[in-house]
Structure 1
Amino acid sequence: MNYLAHLFLAQNNSDSLTGNLMGDFCQGLDIAALPEPIQLGIENHRSIDRFTDNHLLVRELKGHLPKDMRRYSGIIADVVFDHFLALHWQDYSEQAFTEFRTQSYQQLLTKIDLMPERMQIMVQRMTSQDWLSGYQHLNNIDRALNGIGMRMRFANPLHRAIEPVRENYQIYQSTFAAFFPELLVHVDKVNIEGA
């Protein structure tokens, strides 16, 4: 899952939100030096990624991509699933999407000093440009996939990924609708066991 889902699946506090986003920025980071609630957020992020990456429905999406894109299927699904979460927010949350975004941005900014520099830059851009709202529009999904591709240190086809997503839009949507409730159950179970 991408930024929106990781924030949605965090506990409603600044440490958990920070840790759940920090899962993508841990390279070279001394995780043990972080406050325990942030460490738990990182663990939650990793549990979500493992569950998602190994889920049969998500893995089957690979077959709907051109051969040169199949190894990036997980990345594409993560970003596209955030699109569907943003579009169908009211199906999964009683909190208004606008309120969730504002609250998340405010809470993340209170912990910015604890974030690695690369994450600080990303969070500042996310909050000033309201990235989470942008997930509602496919053009922004295209931009997000392009941005991920440009940050990779090797040539990749992510700049073309929106084309097969558009062609298979209903398949991605139905996969998300079937998969996401299972992910919610998984996260609840992990949180109960970790409590």
Structure 2
Amino acid sequence: MNYLAHLFLSPDNPAIRVGNLMGDFVKGNQLDYLPDEVRQGVYLHRAIDKFTDHHPQVTALKSLLSPARKRFAGIINDIVFDHLLARQWRHFSDISLNEFAQLRYQELADYQAHMPEKMVIMVNRMIAGDWLVGYQMPSSIGGAINGVSRRIRFENKLSGAAQEVMPAMAHYEQAFVAFFPELMSFVEQEALTLSERYKLR
């Protein structure tokens, strides 16, 4: 899942939410330099990604892409799912997406001292561009995909993948509707497991 989903799926704890978003910016398991709850969020991020990447509804979407883009299916799925979550937001949250976004932006700004430099840069861009609310727009899919393509350090065919995604949006939406409630249930249990683990430390 991408930025909006990781923030949404987190327990109601700012430090865990920040850690959940941090998962793409830290590597390895030597994370003792992070506060316990931030580290808990990083591990939750990894559990979410693993569950998502191995879910049959999600893996089946790879067949919708051309051979040159199949290797990027995980990235594409994450971006499309954030768009679908934003578009269907009222089915999942009691507060508006705009209110949710403003609360999360403030939390992220407050925790920048714990973030890697690349994450600080991303978070500042997110806040300035109001990415979380912007995910509602279909154009956000192409913009996000092309942005990731530019950041990949090797030559790739990811840019322009929205041309393949948009005609197949009904398939992505069908997968999201079936998969996302299962992910929510998984995260609820996984968050409890991680919380108990940290209480025993």
- CA distance, structure 2, for counterparts of residue 108 and residue 19 of structure 1: 10
Task: Tell me, yes or no, if the aligned pair for 2:10 and 2:20 is still in contact at 8 Å.
Answer: yes
Letter in 1 for 2:83: H
Partner of 1:165: 165
Partner of 2:26: 26
- Give CA deviations for 1:22-76 in whole Å, capped at 9, x if unaligned: 0000048952111000000001000000000111110000001111111111110
In the TM superposition, residue 6 of structure 1 has moved relative to its aligned partner by: 0.4
- CA distance, structure 1, for counterparts of residue 27 and residue 188 of structure 2: 27
- CA distance, structure 1, for counterparts of residue 8 and residue 51 of structure 2: 16
Return 5+ residue gaps in structure 2 as ranges: 197-201
Secondary structure of residue in 2 paired with 1:159: coil
Letter in 2 for 1:50: K
In the TM superposition, residue 155 of structure 1 has moved relative to its aligned partner by: 1.3
- Give CA deviations for 1:81-123 in whole Å, capped at 9, x if unaligned: 0000000001111122111000000011000011000000100
- CA distance, structure 2, for counterparts of residue 90 and residue 132 of structure 1: 14
Partner of 1:180: 180
Return 5+ residue gaps in structure 1 as ranges: none
Partner of 1:137: 137
In the TM superposition, residue 14 of structure 1 has moved relative to its aligned partner by: 2.1
Give the aligned CA root-mean-square deviation in angstroms.
1.3
Partner of 2:199: none
Partner of 2:11: 11
Partner of 1:83: 83
- CA distance, structure 1, for counterparts of residue 28 and residue 87 of structure 2: 35
Bigger drift between 85-94 and 156-165 goes to 156-165
- CA distance, structure 2, for counterparts of residue 41 and residue 193 of structure 1: 12
Partner of 2:128: 128
Letter in 2 for 1:116: P
* Percent of pairs with identical residues: 44
- CA distance, structure 1, for counterparts of residue 139 and residue 87 of structure 2: 14
The answer to whether the aligner puts 1:150 opposite 2:154 as a matched pair is no
- CA distance, structure 1, for counterparts of residue 111 and residue 30 of structure 2: 16
- Give CA deviations for 1:116-161 in whole Å, capped at 9, x if unaligned: 0000010011011101111111212111111111100111122121
Q: How do residues 28-107 of structure 1 correspond to structure 2 at under 5 angstroms? A: 31-107=31-107
Secondary structure of residue in 2 paired with 1:106: helix
Task: Tell me, yes or no, if the aligned pair for 2:11 and 2:191 is still in contact at 8 Å.
Answer: no
Task: Tell me, yes or no, if the aligned pair for 1:29 and 1:116 is still in contact at 8 Å.
Answer: no
Letter in 1 for 2:37: P
Distance 1:29 1:109, change over 3 A: farther
Bigger drift between 21-30 and 137-146 goes to 21-30
